[in-house]
Each structure stands twice: as structure tokens, then as C-alpha cells.
Chains A and B, each alone.
Chain A
Amino acid sequence: MVSLPLNPLQDGLRLEPTPGPATLVIFGASGDLTRRKLLPALYRLSRDQRLPARFSIIGVAREEFGDDGFKQEFRESLREFAGLTDEDEVAHSLSERMRYVGGDFKDPAIYQQVARHIAEMDSSGGVLFYLAIPPGAYPNVIEQLGAAGLSGSTDGGWRRIIIEKPFGTDLQTARELNQIVHRHFDEEQVFRIDHYLGKETVQNLMAFRFANGMFEPVWNRRYIDHVQITAAETVGVERRAAYYEGAGGLRDMVQNHLMQLLSLVAMEPPIAFTAESVRDRKMDALLAALPLGPEHVVRAQYHAGWVTGAEVPGYREEPGVDAASTTETLVALKVQLDSWRWAGVPFYLRTGKRLPKRTTEIAIQFRRPPLQIFKRVSQSSVAPNLLIVNVQPDEGISVRFEAKLPGTRMQLAPVMMNFRYGTAFGGTVPEAYETLLLDAMLGDPTLFARHDFVESSWALITPVHERWRAEALTALPAHEAGEWGCPEMDALIERDGRRWRTL
């Protein structure tokens, strides 16, 4: 037989590429994110044969529940979050390659134990560290990984790290964290996760813009009136009060998710679909954002109300929340990009908790036709064209355009043309964490935030926080739970002669 330097059987395989042998080390293995998202995602990847032939998982957390306890956590996670009532053969096989290290993250001994497990599991290909831990613990764990020699490889395999959001709490802390990370990991080893970027529709936005000739020519100030990006949640602060009290909506949603969506809409075409090219263009878009003055940002806090069929308490009455809290649960912004493409086109962003429905979308509103030739024959005014990218829950794209109502008279009515991922192609749409875990193992950072993007995003947001701190309000404008915003939020857009979309 001939020699086989590379894998000749990969050519023409229908399943997408799989990474080489790898070990995933999850710090925070007993946490909510691991149970809700990571373990189910790993199971689904395994079921879809997207994991390598030799793959191991090492869980690290404070609890001392041992290998068997970790496997039990895995089974319970699949039962609760993957709908798997009984462990199947795939889950059992995956759990056979799970190990657990319990202890304090500050204790250097646990990193030695992790190193021993990595060697025992013989994943000569690569090791991916996942920090699913409170952000305050990032610096210590990163330093310890470096000190234990785990950030670099001696066997030629790769070493990478996934860092969850929030990456810092302001520009200064983000810079400091980047410095700590870069002391031990090169930028190409670092994968700052924003799960919004793993969603199919978000990726499809790039396909939509850059794989079609008909949209890009109108994707500019000449044809687009404004853009609205909405991330609405029905839930309140849930069990995250301790975190959310210090974060608020601006840090929790705007600095990362909404800025990512904005940059994807606003970016110039990259010269190729490569990680650096795409991230360079996103970075350009963000750099074009003008500073956010007081007139560009509105905040509010939810009060008691009625959401999804039940009465709910106000934010200050939530368990774990300060009774005098001034943390914003609703925030709306007007972002202006000082660029050739977008000058004069406002981007309105809004996000909040306890809104009437859970939905995330990007709505691009086009200018009206220059001449209203139908105004004498049609009683209704011509609605502007809309292009809506639904990010969640029903991923898809819709276009609204005007059509003639059937009849002898010329009457117009808006109609929607819809494309839905869930029904158009069949098959299952992968969860964002599946896509992102796999990309990190394959070494593709396209869908991850680069250090300069994170810092630029904080550079935009931090002055707003500083201004709010100086204002020292004792109460924020009220947003009644279950309603779409508050008068202040409406005023932000209405003073420009526009309105928030009713979703």
C-alpha cells in the first residue's frame, strides 16, 4: 500500500470535517452553563459523529464528586436539557472518556492533576480549555494554566482556550484581562465566545449579504432609512441576581451580543471568508461608531406587571436584588456610524427583560419610494420595505413589500415573504454551542470575538457607565413588566420621526 501522510478518507465525506484527537477541559464543570449547554452540545456532536475518534472530557470544579459523580451530572443534564430519558449507547460511550478533578481553582495541585489526566487520556492532538466559571476567576485560572505549562504544548498538539462573556466589566478590566491572557496564550489560541455568533441566522446574514448580488447594492445610506436591533426577553433576572446587579443590560447584552449583530450588518464585504478578513471588517464597522452621548442612551427598570400569563414582581422585589437597585433591565441606544456607507443611517438598539415576548431580530427598514404615485388611488399609505433577520426563536429571514389587493381598484397592502430555517431545508439546526465548540476544536476563530473588538466595544460603552455613575440616580424610569418599553425609550426614536417596530 502507498504511504498515507494525511487522511485520504476525509475526501468526499458527507459529514462536515471533524477535529483531530482532542481533550476538552471544562472549568466550572458543575455549573449551570455546563449542565444546560455544554454537556448536551457535546452529546449531540457525538451523536452526529462530529467529535474525533479519540475524544475525552475532563471536568474541573470545586465540588468533590469524582468521576462517577461527573458522569451522573452528565446523565442528568441530558435528561433535563437534551430530552434523553435513558442513557443511550452514544452517551454511555462518551461518558467512558470523562474524568473529573475537584478542588479550589487557586490550588496549583489541581492543574497538575489536569495535566496527568491529559497525558493518561492520550489525546496527542490538542487540548481545549473552556472557562465556564464566574468572570472573577478568569485571571487566576489563566495564570495557573500558564504556570503549570498547560498553555503550551510539548508534543506538537494544539492548546486553545474558550473564554465566556463577560470579558471584563469595562475598558480597563478588559485590557487587563487581555494582557493576562496574552502572557500565556497567543491570540490565535484564544476563543472569546459570544453564543449569538453561533446561531445559523447570524451566520446566514453573511451568506445573505455576500453570496447574493441583489442585496449588497442597496445595503447603504442611499436605500436604507434605519436599522433596529432588538433582543427581548420575557424572563426576569432569575437566579442571576448576583451577577446581574453588577452588570445590567448594557454590559450583559449590548457590549457583546448587540455590538456583534450591529457589526455584522454594518461591515464592509471582506475580501475572503477567512477569520481575519471577516474580523477586520467587523472591527472597522465598530470603529466607525460615534461616541454615545446622553441623548443616545435610555435606561429603565422593570416594575411589577404581567408577562406570559402570570403576574411577576418588579426588579427590586426579585430575590437577591437590592431594594434600592438602580441596575438597568431595559436599555435602548441610538448608534451612528461615521462611515461612507452608513453616514446618516441610525442604528437603534434595544434590549430588556420582562418584555412581552422573547425575540431577537434585526430589522432593516428601507427608504420609501421617492415618488408616491399611488397616493391618489390608495387610501393607505405605502409601508416602507423591511428586511427582517430573525435570530431567535424562529431563525429565518422575512421581506416585507407592498402588493396590490385583488380587485378592480388600486389598493395596496403590505405582504411578508418568509424564509424559515426550521422548515426550508429539513434536518436539524445545530445549537450555537455545538457550532462554536466544534469551531474552536477545528481552530477556526471566525465566529469568536477578537481582543481588539472586545476592547473597542467597551470603549464605546464605558463612558456611558461612567456618566450613569456620576448621575447617581436613586430610581430609574419605570418599565412595566409585560409592556414594550417606556415613554423615554419611545422618545429616543420618535424624536427622529421614527417608531419602534411592534413585534
Chain B
Amino acid sequence: MSTNPPLLPLGIEVPFSEIEVTLGSLDDGKRAPGRSLTATIVVVGPHARLAEAAQAVEQLTDVGVRAILISDGDNPAPSVRVLDHAVALEGLRPDYLNNAVAALRLSSLPMLVWWRGGSPDVLDGLADLADRLVFDVEDPAAVWSRAKTLSERTATSDLRWTKLTRWRALMAQFFDLPEVRDAARSFNRIAIEGADLPAARLYAGWLASSLEWTSTVAIDVRARPGGASIESIEFGDGDQALTLSLGASGRCVETTARVQGRVAASRVGYLGDQGLAALIGEELRIRSRDHAFERAVAAAQGVV
């Protein structure tokens, strides 16, 4: 018997076979009118990592998403709780993961799998069912090494990549300035600091693959334990450099483009909501393959 607190403590405990009927009755009684369902999100991982995801998912069910939380275990008949448009299956044996997902997903609507850990061996099967597979694990080496193969079967992403959306946009917008594009030809160094080395590598991988770097660019990825996942990025050197630094509030990024010793542009960009619900919400809004991610993750594996 599991000693973990339930993932949906306010949910109703039901047998697996009663899930749809129960959801239907909740729908009649509790839901606000006018809700349109738009997607299914399946969260898979160890129980400890699903508790955090459950809170995020609760916000997503407010915007028309059916959420299925599945924590791994060794139980062929796990306990089931349902609440609004969310279902939690706790301690399911991994071999039955696909069967559970196939039975519970909304038909005819996109399905996103939010992968928060477990044996990567089940990813191939999930990729065949999912429209999008989003990695979210502490050490991504094992999943990134499979990313290329998985990307041939479904769209892939990583929540680290989602966190980098605005960091990428701020850098990209500098390249709208012709003088920055000209100066960038001579940039031969990039330094990225932050607590999350894989995120820093992914950013460097994105730049490397987008700008088609040769080996002449030195990539300096430095860990800063205890800080934000990315603290600063400096692309270039001295009089010619593009710098992005996390502001004191932690919500904004201060950016400066310096070309030939003068400031070509300088501004503050908002990082946006970096909470789990907002990040996974962003992934839900993307309905196509993310080729930039696929190229970046391939290049990131060569960054040390």
C-alpha cells in the first residue's frame, strides 16, 4: 500500500472502469458552462515529481484540457481518483502505461505527454500515441540521446527549451539590426552562466545550429550553483558583444547590444511566467514539430 499523499486529494476514488462515467457526472454538476476541450495532457513520472505537476495541471483543466497523471509503480490495478477534468492513476506498472493512456485520452484532439521521469524505455510506445512529447527531467542525457529517433515519430520538446523561449527571442531580436548581423560575423566566443548546465548547453546548441558555427567559436558554459537556471549570456567580446543578464528582480532580462564600442540597442525584456502551468501551457499551444529544438538538442550534446 502506497504511503504517498494522493495526487488529487479532493478527487473521488473510483474503479478504472468508472472514470468516464464519473467525469461525465462531474461535468454536469460542477463545470462552468461554455468550456471547450482542446487537448489531453498526460503527465508521467515518479510520485514525488507528479505532486508538483498536479498543481500545474489543476490550472490547465481550467482552460479546457483533460489531464491524466500517472505515477510509476508496480501495480497492475492502481488506485484512481478523478476531479473535474483530471484523472490520477498512482503506482501503475510501466508495461500498462500505453493501455491506460489509450483508454483515457480524448479522441480526435491533440495529446501531449509531459515526461517527468521513469524508464525511458517506455518513451517509444508513448511517442506513437502522443502528438507531442515534452521532456522534463533533471538529467536529460538519456532522453536527449533518444530525441532524434523520437522526433521521427512525434513532435518533441523539453521544458528547459520552453524556459529559454524569451531568452532566445531577446537574442534573436538583436539580429534584426543590420549592424549586429555584420558584427556577429566576427564573434568567436560565447559565455553562458547559470545553475542549469543542460539549459546553457541547449542555448549554445541553438545558437550553434542556427548560426551554423564552425569550431572557431569558443563556448564557455559555467555553472553557478544556487542561482537561476540562466543568469547571463555574453555573445562576443569587449567592444562588440551582445549581453543578456537576469535582472535583480529575477523577472526581467537586461539586454545590451554593443557594436564598435557604442550601444546599438539596450532594453529590458520580461521573462514571462516561468511557472510550470505557464510553461506546459506554452507547449500545448504549439501544434507542429519544433525543428529548432531538434537541431539545438543535437548540437547541445556536443557542448561540454
The judgment on whether A and B are partners is yes
Complex Cα distance, B212 from A58, in Å, reads: 39
**Separation in Å of the B28 CB from the closest CB of chain A?**
12
In angstroms, how far is the closest chain B Cβ from the Cβ of A362? 18
Nearest chain A CB to B256 CB, angstrom units: 10
Say yes or no: B285 contacts A425, CB within 8 Å: yes
* A37 adjacent to chain B (CB < 8 Å): no
Interface string of A408-445 (1 = CB under 8 A from B): 00000000101110011111000000000000000000
Take A15-B169, A53-B257, A53-B267 as given contacts and tell me if A1 and B216 are in contact as well, using a CB distance cutoff of 8 Å.
yes
- Over the window 211-236 of chain B, the binary record of Cβ atoms lying under 8 Å from chain A Cβ atoms (1 yes, 0 no) is 11110110000000000000000000
Give bound CA distance, A483 to B284, whole Å: 44
B62:A423 contact, CB within 8 angstroms: yes
Flag if B175 contacts A7 (CB, 8 Å). yes
Which among B172, B178, B185, B267 is the interface contact of A9 at CB below 8 angstroms? B172
What B residues does A90 contact at CB under 8 A?
252, 268-270
Say how far B228's CB is from chain A's closest CB, in angstroms. 15
Task: Tell me how far the C-beta of A260 lies from the nearest C-beta in chain B, rounded to whole angstroms.
Answer: 26
| One of B62, B171, B284, B286 near A14 (C-beta < 8 A) | B286
Shortest CB–CB separation between residue A215 and chain B, in angstroms? 16
Most buried by B among A124, A125, A420: A420
A124 to B259, CA, bound (A): 15
- A18-60 vs B, CB cutoff 8 Å, 1 = contact: the mask equals 1011000000000000000000000000111100111100000
Determine if B52 is an interface residue (Cβ-Cβ < 8 Å).
Answer: no
Which range holds the interface residue count of chain B?
35 or more
In the bound assembly, the distance between CA atoms of A1 and B252 in angstroms comes to: 30
The contact of A12 among B252, B272, B292, by CB within 8 Å, is B292
Q: Which of A4, A21, A124, A424 is in CB contact (< 8 Å) with B63?
A: A424
Residues of B within 8 A of A88 (CB): 251-252, 270
* Chain A residues in 8 Å Cβ range of B212: 1-2, 8
| A158 to B293 alpha-carbon distance, docked (Å) | 33
Decide if A4 touches B211 in the complex (CB within 8 Å): yes
Q: Mark B185-224, 1 if CB is under 8 A from A, else 0.
A: 1111000000000000000000100111110110000000
B285 engages A53 (CB within 8 Å): no
Nearest Cβ on chain A to B32's Cβ, whole angstroms: 8
**Smallest beta-carbon distance B233→chain A, Å:** 13
How long is the Cα–Cα vector from A20 to B173 in the complex, in angstroms?
Answer: 8
Q: Across the interface, do A396 and B177 meet the contact criterion of CB distance under 8 Å?
A: no
The 7 closest A-B pairs by CB, nearest first: A12-B292, A9-B172, A93-B268, A426-B63, A418-B34, A53-B173, A89-B252
Residues of B with Cβ closer than 8 Å to A?
32-36, 38, 60, 62-64, 165-166, 168-178, 181-182, 184-188, 207, 210-214, 216-217, 247, 249, 251-252, 254-255, 257, 264-265, 267-270, 272, 281-282, 284-286, 290-293, 295
CB-defined A-B contacts under 8 Å, sample of 22: A1-B188, A8-B211, A9-B171, A11-B292, A14-B282, A15-B165, A20-B176, A21-B176, A48-B270, A49-B170, A89-B247, A90-B252, A92-B268, A125-B176, A416-B33, A418-B34, A419-B34, A420-B35, A423-B63, A424-B64, A425-B38, A425-B64
